Structure 1
Amino acid sequence: MEVDAPPPAAAGGAGADHAGKPTAGSGSHAAPGGTPGAASAPHADSSLHAPAAHHQYAKTPAELLPLFDPPSLDKLKAVGGIEQLAADLRTDLKAGLPTEARASSRHAALDVFGRNDLPEPRMHSLLDFAWDALQDRTLVVLIIAAFVDVAIGIYKAVSGQDRLGWLDGVAIVVAIIIIVGIASGNDYKKQGQFRKLNDFSRNLSVIGVVRHGESIVIPTRELVVGDVCQIETGVILPADGLLIKGYGISCDESSLTGESHACDKDPASEPFLLSGTKVVAGMGTMLVTAVGPNSLNGRSIAALNVEPEDTPLQKQLGKLADQIAKFGLISALGMVIVLVICYFAIKPPEPRSGVRIANDVVNILINGITLVVVAVPEGLPLAVTLSLAHATVRMLKDNNLVRHLQACETMSNATTICSDKTGTLTLNRMSVVQAYLFGKAYDRDQLAHAREQIPEKWLHLVARAVNVNSTATEKPGPNGDIEFVGNKTEVALLTWSGAVGRPYAQDREANRQLGMIPFSSETKRMSVAVQDANEPETPVWLFTKGAAELVVRSCSQYVGPDGEPRSMDADAIARCDAQINAFADESLRNIAVAYRRLAPEDVPQNEGDHLPSALSAQQLVLLGIFAIEDPVRPEVPGAVKTCQNAGIIVRMVTGDNLATAKSISRQCGILDEFGIALEGPVFRELTDEQLDIVLPRLQVLARSSPIDKQILVQKLRRRGETVAVTGDGTNDAPALKAANVGFSMGIAGTEVAKEASDIVLLDDNFSSLVRAVNWGRSVFDAIRKFLQFQLTVNITAVVLTITSSIYSTVSGERRPESVLTAIQLLWVNLLMDSFAALALALDPPTPEMLQRAPSRSNEALVSPVMWKMIIFQAVYQMVVCITLYFTGHHVIDLHGESHGGVDARVATLIFNIFVFCQVFNEINCRSITHDTNVFRGMFKNRIFLGIIIFTTGAQAIIVELGGRVFDTVELGGKGWGISIALGFGSLPLGWLVRQLP
Structure 2
Amino acid sequence: MSSPDDEPQTHNHMGYFGVEPSTLIDLVEAYRNRKFVEDLTYVEEKFSDVEKLADKLKSSLDHGLEGNDFQKRDEHFGSNEKEPPPRKGICKLFLEALDDLMLKILIVSAIISIIISMIFADDDERPIAWVEGGAILFAVAVVTGVTAWNDYQKEKQFMKLTEYSDSKNNFTVLRNGVQEEINFDDIKVGDLVAIRTGMNIPADAILIRGTGVTSDESAMTGESIELKKEPIEQCKMRLEEKQEEEKFHSDAPERTNHDIPSPILLSGTQIETGEGWFMVVVVGKESCVGKIYAKLSQEIETTPLQLKLNKIATDIGYLGMFSAAITLIVLFGRFFIEQSLDGWDGGDIGDYLEEWFEYILIAVTIVVVAVPEGLPLAVMIALAYSVRKMLKDQNFVKRLSSCEIMGGANNICSDKTGTLTKNEMTVKEMWVGGLQSLDNEQKEYTIGDYIRDKKHADLFLQGLSCNTSGTSKEANATEKAILKMLDKFGCDYQDLRGQHCKDPLTRFQFTSRRKKMSTVLTEIDDNEFGYDKRLHIKGAAEYVLANCTHYLNEQGERVELDPTTKNHLIKDVIKGFAEGALRTICCAYRDLKPEDGGLAHDEDGEDGVSKVVETFLTCICILGIRDVIRPEVPDAVEKCQNAGIRVRMVTGDNQDTALAIAKECNIIAEEKEDSIMTGPQFYERVGGLYCQNCNEDSPCKCPEKKVKEAVKNKKEFAKIHENLSVLARSRPEDKYLLVTGIKEMGDVVAVTGDGTNDAPALKKADVGFAMGITGTDVAKHAADIILLDDNFASIVQACMWGRNIYDNIRRFLQFQLSVNIVALTTAFIGSCILRESPLQPIQLLWVNLIMDSLGSLAEATERPTEKLLNRPPQSRDDYIISHKMVKHLIIMGTYQSIVVFVLIFLGEFLIPEDSDYHPNTDGKYVYPGRAYSWDGKDLYRKFTEFDDDKGPSRHYTVVFNAFVFMQIFNMIC
Smaller-chain TM-score range? 0.5 to 0.7
User: 2:894 pairs with 852, 875, 890, which one?
Assistant: 875
Match status 1:986 vs 2:954: no
**1:179 alignment partner AA:** V
Secondary structure class of the residue paired with 1:346: helix
Question: Against the structure 1 CA distance between its residues 603 and 253, is the aligned structure 2 distance closer, same or farther, given a 3 Å change threshold?
Answer: farther
**2:90 alignment partner AA:** H
User: 1:322 pairs with 308, 314, 318, which one?
Assistant: 314
User: 2:347 pairs with 352, 356, 361, which one?
Assistant: 352
- The offset of 1:871, in angstroms, is 2.0
- Deviations 1:671-720, CA, capped at 9 Å, x for gaps: 99xx54799998889999xx999999999x8x965489979999999999
Match status 1:139 vs 2:104: no
**1:408 alignment partner AA:** C
Question: Against the structure 1 CA distance between its residues 663 and 886, is the aligned structure 2 distance closer, same or farther, given a 3 Å change threshold?
Answer: same
- The offset of 1:803, in angstroms, is 1.1
User: 1:499 pairs with 487, 492, 495, which one?
Assistant: 492
User: 2:567 pairs with 566, 569, 573, which one?
Assistant: 573
Secondary structure class of the residue paired with 2:129: helix
Is the CA contact (8 Å cut-off) linking 1:209 and 1:228 kept in structure 2?
Answer: no
Specify every segment of 5 or more residues in structure 1 that has no aligned partner in the other structure, as ranges.
1-41, 49-62, 90-112, 158-162, 214-219, 256-262, 468-472, 475-482, 519-524, 534-540, 607-617, 809-815, 909-963, 991-997
Question: Against the structure 1 CA distance between its residues 323 and 560, is the aligned structure 2 distance closer, same or farther, given a 3 Å change threshold?
Answer: same
Correspondence for 1:399: 394
Q: Greater relative contact order (Cα 8 A, min sep 6): structure 1 or 2? A: 1
- Deviations 1:539-567, CA, capped at 9 Å, x for gaps: xx997746x6xx47984646523999976
- The offset of 1:777, in angstroms, is 0.9
Matched-pair identity in %: 28
Compute the RMSD of aligned alpha carbons: 6.7
After superposition, residues 270-289 of structure 1 pair within 5 angstroms as none
Correspondence for 2:134: 173
Secondary structure class of the residue paired with 1:121: coil
Question: Against the structure 1 CA distance between its residues 71 and 488, is the aligned structure 2 distance closer, same or farther, given a 3 Å change threshold?
Answer: closer
- The offset of 1:592, in angstroms, is 1.2
- The offset of 1:780, in angstroms, is 1.9
**CA separation in 1, counterparts of 2:616 and 2:410?**
47
**CA separation in 2, counterparts of 1:733 and 1:416?**
18
Match status 1:890 vs 2:909: yes
Is the CA contact (8 Å cut-off) linking 2:544 and 2:588 kept in structure 1?
Answer: no
Match status 1:484 vs 2:486: no
- The offset of 1:346, in angstroms, is 2.4
After superposition, residues 505-520 of structure 1 pair within 5 angstroms as 509-510=504-505, 516-517=511-512
Correspondence for 1:959: none
- The offset of 1:364, in angstroms, is 2.3
Match status 1:186 vs 2:147: yes
- The offset of 1:454, in angstroms, is 3.4
**CA separation in 2, counterparts of 1:144 and 1:318?**
23
Question: Against the structure 1 CA distance between its residues 148 and 404, is the aligned structure 2 distance closer, same or farther, given a 3 Å change threshold?
Answer: closer
Is the CA contact (8 Å cut-off) linking 1:590 and 1:625 kept in structure 2?
Answer: no
- The offset of 1:362, in angstroms, is 3.0
Match status 1:332 vs 2:324: yes
User: 2:356 pairs with 341, 347, 361, which one?
Assistant: 361
Correspondence for 1:124: 90
Match status 1:150 vs 2:151: no
**1:821 alignment partner AA:** Q
Is the CA contact (8 Å cut-off) linking 2:822 and 2:897 kept in structure 1?
Answer: yes
Bigger-Rg structure (1/2) = 2
**1:445 alignment partner AA:** T
- The offset of 1:203, in angstroms, is 4.7
**CA separation in 2, counterparts of 1:895 and 1:773?**
58
- The offset of 1:820, in angstroms, is 1.8
Correspondence for 2:551: 560
Correspondence for 2:817: 791
Match status 1:800 vs 2:826: yes
Match status 1:626 vs 2:623: yes
**CA separation in 1, counterparts of 2:755 and 2:220?**
19
- The offset of 1:805, in angstroms, is 0.9
Question: Against the structure 1 CA distance between its residues 221 and 179, is the aligned structure 2 distance closer, same or farther, given a 3 Å change threshold?
Answer: farther
User: 1:373 pairs with 365, 368, 374, which one?
Assistant: 368
Is the CA contact (8 Å cut-off) linking 1:367 and 1:822 kept in structure 2?
Answer: no
**CA separation in 2, counterparts of 1:874 and 1:366?**
25
**CA separation in 1, counterparts of 2:780 and 2:561?**
45
Is the CA contact (8 Å cut-off) linking 1:117 and 1:291 kept in structure 2?
Answer: no
Secondary structure class of the residue paired with 2:585: strand
Match status 1:343 vs 2:362: no
**CA separation in 2, counterparts of 1:642 and 1:309?**
28
**CA separation in 1, counterparts of 2:657 and 2:206?**
46
**CA separation in 1, counterparts of 2:503 and 2:856?**
62
Correspondence for 1:477: none
881-890 vs 488-497, greater mean Cα deviation: 488-497
After superposition, residues 202-221 of structure 1 pair within 5 angstroms as 203=164
**1:172 alignment partner AA:** G
**Equivalent residue pairs, number:** 772
**1:149 alignment partner AA:** S
**CA separation in 1, counterparts of 2:263 and 2:803?**
49
After superposition, residues 662-681 of structure 1 pair within 5 angstroms as 670=666, 675-676=669-670
The two structures have a TM-score, normalised by structure 1, of 0.59
- Deviations 1:37-56, CA, capped at 9 Å, x for gaps: xxxxx9999xx9xxxxxxxx
User: 1:824 pairs with 806, 818, 843, which one?
Assistant: 843
- Deviations 1:509-534, CA, capped at 9 Å, x for gaps: 4368788439xxxxxx976799999x
551-560 vs 768-777, greater mean Cα deviation: 551-560
Question: Against the structure 1 CA distance between its residues 635 and 515, is the aligned structure 2 distance closer, same or farther, given a 3 Å change threshold?
Answer: closer
**CA separation in 1, counterparts of 2:273 and 2:351?**
85
Question: Against the structure 1 CA distance between its residues 680 and 578, is the aligned structure 2 distance closer, same or farther, given a 3 Å change threshold?
Answer: farther
The two structures have a TM-score, normalised by structure 2, of 0.60
Question: Against the structure 1 CA distance between its residues 823 and 882, is the aligned structure 2 distance closer, same or farther, given a 3 Å change threshold?
Answer: same
After superposition, residues 198-347 of structure 1 pair within 5 angstroms as 198-200=159-161, 203=164, 225=187, 228=194, 243=207, 308-347=300-339
265-274 vs 796-805, greater mean Cα deviation: 265-274
- Deviations 1:124-166, CA, capped at 9 Å, x for gaps: 249955995799375246325413422433xx32xxxxx3354
Is the CA contact (8 Å cut-off) linking 2:21 and 2:282 kept in structure 1?
Answer: no
Match status 1:591 vs 2:584: yes
**CA separation in 2, counterparts of 1:752 and 1:305?**
12
Question: Against the structure 1 CA distance between its residues 379 and 581, is the aligned structure 2 distance closer, same or farther, given a 3 Å change threshold?
Answer: farther
- Deviations 1:313-344, CA, capped at 9 Å, x for gaps: 21332233223222322322332343234334
Question: Against the structure 1 CA distance between its residues 336 and 664, is the aligned structure 2 distance closer, same or farther, given a 3 Å change threshold?
Answer: closer
**CA separation in 1, counterparts of 2:674 and 2:588?**
28
188-197 vs 403-412, greater mean Cα deviation: 403-412
Correspondence for 1:446: 447
Correspondence for 2:59: 80
Secondary structure class of the residue paired with 1:118: coil
- Deviations 1:364-420, CA, capped at 9 Å, x for gaps: 222322332343456656655554454445423211244666653443245576767
Match status 1:600 vs 2:617: no
**CA separation in 1, counterparts of 2:277 and 2:8?**
24
- Deviations 1:231-281, CA, capped at 9 Å, x for gaps: 99xx986557665568698989999xxxxxxx9999669988776x67899
Question: Against the structure 1 CA distance between its residues 496 and 395, is the aligned structure 2 distance closer, same or farther, given a 3 Å change threshold?
Answer: same
179-188 vs 729-738, greater mean Cα deviation: 729-738
Is the CA contact (8 Å cut-off) linking 1:44 and 1:302 kept in structure 2?
Answer: no
**CA separation in 1, counterparts of 2:618 and 2:456?**
18
Is the CA contact (8 Å cut-off) linking 1:231 and 1:283 kept in structure 2?
Answer: yes
